Amino acid sequence: MRYGVADGRVVADVGGRVVAVGDVISDPVFEQPSLNAFMAQGPDAWRDTKTTVLGAQDPEKRDSARPERMGEMGMPFEVADYVDFYSSIHHATNLGRLFRPDSEPLMPNWRHLPVGYHGRAGTVVVSGTPVVRPSGLVQTEGGVVRQPCARLDIELEVGFVVGVGSERNAPIAVDDADKHVFGVVLVNDWSARDIQAFEYQPLGPNLGKSFLTSISPWVVPLDELRPFFRAAPQQTPPPDAGLRGTRDWAIDMHLEIERNGTVISETNFVDLYWTFAQQLAHMTSNGANVRTGDLFASGTVSGPEPGSYGSLIELGAGFLDDGDTIVLRGWCGDGDDRIDLGDVVGTVKP
């Protein structure tokens, strides 16, 4: 395993400038099988490492280290825990109307806290891992039967990776989020809608979600995205004091979904109702701690218009067929200021 720092206009396609950390820095943390030991060192070490590597590397050697020569991309970090949120008001409203057409689309708690559930860290995989259609119990006209998922869906999400953990019974304040979050990945939280529909009441998602979650192979440091931080949407009613912050925590990030070579949705992360900083604060508000390598995802990111939804069930695009390939993309900025997150690619197998 070798660790690279991508420097250039684009992160996923770095213009031939990928620098191997081990060529410049001799540190035991870069001899480990994941980035966890490095991430645990904290913000000062993260910034110093990037400065050292990019400042010391020979430009000609950089240009020879093209991404296509790097070999197979692996999991960049070891996932400790995984929490998936449900923080897009547009997505929650759309699904509420679909699942509960005769009721209010948003549940009474939704505007008071970032709703989430605990996922499976062991089934978080790197982009490119084949997607095997799961089987499970579903309700049919003939009764409850076990069968392959017939309503396989995607969820376009943004994930945040914890670098510096916290102590139990020491909640993290909203405005301290960047002391703990190392970086950002794109997430496709694959969903078996028919399995999920039968199992999710009263305790929420389980096997319909836990079979696979794909992430991008690059972790973009949170520091790199600061120029794209924006004010979050106004929240009504005002959140509990433990969920209030004074800084801008929304991120102006363009997102898109491609299915079999055609872009089917484009949206933006900036208007997510609950920010990642509020999600982190909420996770620890009951006294729970976070650990290096914890991954928490935003939940499906959907915009207000049909062409900006983050799942097939909302788009009315039908569910996935065997052989379908989904690519999720995300980037901040344009032109020379553009920063790309690595693509998340998955092809459905029988």
Catalytic residue numbers, as ranges: 91
CA within 13 Å, CB half, 96: 14
Q: For the stretch 257-282, what's the b/e string if a residue is b when 16 or more beta carbons lie within 10 angstroms of its beta carbon?
A: bbbeeeeebebbbbbbbbbbbbbbbb
- What's the burial of 4, exposed, middle or buried (CB within 10 Å: 0-12/13-18/19+)? buried
Q: Measured between alpha carbons, how far is 75 from 13 in angstroms, rounded to an integer?
A: 18
Contact 14, 8 (CB under 8 A): yes
Task: Find, among 7, 33, 10, the residue nearest to 293 by Cα.
Answer: 33
| Nearest by Cα to 180 from 196, 194, 198, 166 | 166
- Number of other CB atoms surrounding residue 27 within 10 Å: 15
Compute the radius of gyration of the chain from its Cα atoms. 20
Q: How far apart are CA 259 and CA 56, in angstroms?
A: 41
